Amino acid sequence: MQKPSEGAVRAEKLAQLFHETYERLAPEYGYKTREASAVSWGHVPEQNKKLMIAVCRTLIDRETHNQSPTPQDVNDTWQMTTDGLLTWEELDEKLKAWGLRRVYFTWMVPNVRNHDSQD
């Protein structure tokens, strides 16, 4: 199993901090969160957690979108897409920010050249 990249770790940490801060501040703004998600990070439903991490990853990527992707960025992005953490539309948005199209992107990822990338 591949070690998570620094970006993936940053996204998960940001998602955790966001969740904890959101839950803490919600009552001050007269908002009651859902019971299923008003729990510590370790008990957040997996789908909610994946969504928050994907949102944070997207936001982090948007902040740094002027940078060219590293080989690790390319591999992580492909892995997040195939794991269902990024939709194909989110993948296309990220690639657009990098100045790439999906057809070229798949050629950059090892062992993916024959994958149907839905382009």
The list of the chain residues with pLDDT below 50 reads 113-119
Report the alpha-carbon distance of residue 27 to residue 31 in Å, rounded: 5
The pLDDT value recorded for residue 106 is: 66
Angstrom CA distances, 49 to 43, 92, 102, 107, stand at 9, 22, 27, 30
Amino acid identity for residue 45 in this structure? P
**Token output for 7:** 């970006």
How far, in Å, CA of 47 to CA of 78, rounded? 19
Task: Identify whether the C-beta of residue 96 lies closer than 8 Å to the C-beta of residue 60.
Answer: no
- Per the document, the length of the chain is 119
